[in-house]
Amino acid sequence: MVFDFSGARLLDLLSDRRLNINILSVMNKYSDAFQNNKYSPRGQPHRSRSMNAFRYDAQQIKEQARLIRRNVITLNAGSPAGGHTGADLSETDILATLYFRILDISPERIEDPARDIYI
């Protein structure tokens, strides 16, 4: 399954500051829906066998996102060009939630055609 969130309506809603949406609760809601086969991108049935070894809860994802932000700032501060800190930090919660909760990924099964791909 391929997740392409570049033009997704969900991100439009999440970027609307007037809505005051907690991104982790939204992503967990959709993750649970995918796992229960209620929804599926492009009408494909979701696999019942998860390839995500993490399956972190919201608090664990928040902690991982915090650690990722710290690493981004450290790496960009040491970069001669300074990096793109704003862009890097703006996607931290989304990517942490996808990687640690939603995407079906497994390093041991990299050739599996059912593995999710983030574009």
**pTM confidence score:** 0.54
Q: Which two tokens stand for residue 31?
A: 């993750």
Per DSSP, what are the bridge partners of residue 10? none
Supply φ then ψ for residue 111, to 5 degrees.
Answer: -90, 0
Lookup: tokens for 91? 């996607």
What percent of the chain has pLDDT above 70? 56
Residue 43, phi then psi, degrees to nearest 5: 70, 10
Q: Where does the chain have alpha helices with state H?
A: 9-15, 23-35, 58-77, 85-90, 92-97
- pLDDT tens, residue by residue, 68-100: 999 999 888 887 877 788 888 888 999 999 888
The pLDDT value recorded for residue 35 is 52
Which structure tokens are listed for 113?
Answer: 């055609």
Give 6 or 56, the one with higher predicted confidence.
56
Domain boundaries, the chain: 2-118
Provide the pLDDT for residue 54.
75
* 11-65 confidence digits (pLDDT tens): 444 444 444 445 555 555 555 554 554 444 544 544 445 667 777 888 999 999 9
Amino acid letter, residue 92: T
